[in-house]
Amino acid sequence: MKKNIVVVASIIIAFGAIIGLAKACAPKSDVSQEAVSTQKIAKQKKKKNKTKHKNTKADSDILRPYKDPKDLRKAGTWNKKSETKKHPKIRPTEKDLTLRVSLEGNRTYLLRKGKVIYTMLSTGGIYKKGKSLTQTGTYTIQAGRGDSFFNYNLNEGANNWTSWSPDNVYLFHSVPTKGDGSYNMKEAAKLGRTQGSHGCIRLSVPDSKWLMDNIPDGTKVVIKDH
């Protein structure tokens, strides 16, 4: 009897050991593997997105239709003219001028007979779902101009505005001002560096004043993403 009990006990212990070994050697469940895989993919995507959205100087250069002049001031310079040289002289009756805006390049160029004669640091509309708040296309400078404005809905204003839309909604103007008339330093720092407006084209204070005072009505304005 004792012998039978010992045999049965040995069989049970052996069977338990086999089950234990089977569990120890079993692969992780599909759910566990899927969780690990998902974490890996998420990390890879995050790393990829970080690389993708990193804006290098080389990338910015590609987005611009013209090479930056050597005397162009650094991005973020909002209280001086963009180039160290004098603003070009413009005749009130000139018909061969074009203002060319590169939204992603953060530049505005003045061309005479197709040749760039002055480059300005600028900031256009924010991109939402791949589209800028600044309308692209071909327009003309309108008669609408002014020293300043303030939009109470946006709690933002600007100085030295020049319209390029018949209803005076879309403008060239200075970097933004606050309710007390002072310039918004956080937004001013974006000039020539990235997008930030609600649709208008921001320029440095001296550039916006020069444009308002000198650019003839009817001047062609070409706005493109690049």
Q: Which residues carry out catalysis?
A: 173, 200
CA pair distance 68, 134, nearest whole angstrom: 22
Bridge partners (DSSP) of residue 125 are: 197
The region, left, alpha or beta by phi > 0 then psi within -120 to 50, assigned to residue 11 is: alpha
Identify residue 194 by its one-letter amino acid code: T
What is the rounded distance in angstroms from the CA atom of residue 176 to the CA atom of residue 158?
5
DSSP notation for 48-115: HHHHHT---HHHHHHT-SSPPPTTBPPTT--SS-SBSSPPPP--TT--SEEEEEETTTTEEEEEETTE
Give the residue from 128, 143, 78, 137 showing the smallest Cα distance to 106. Answer: 78
- The pair of structure tokens assigned to 44 is 């890879």
What CA–CA distance (Å, rounded) separates 167 from 175? 21
How far apart are alpha carbons 16 and 25 in whole angstroms?
14
Q: How many residues does the chain have?
A: 226
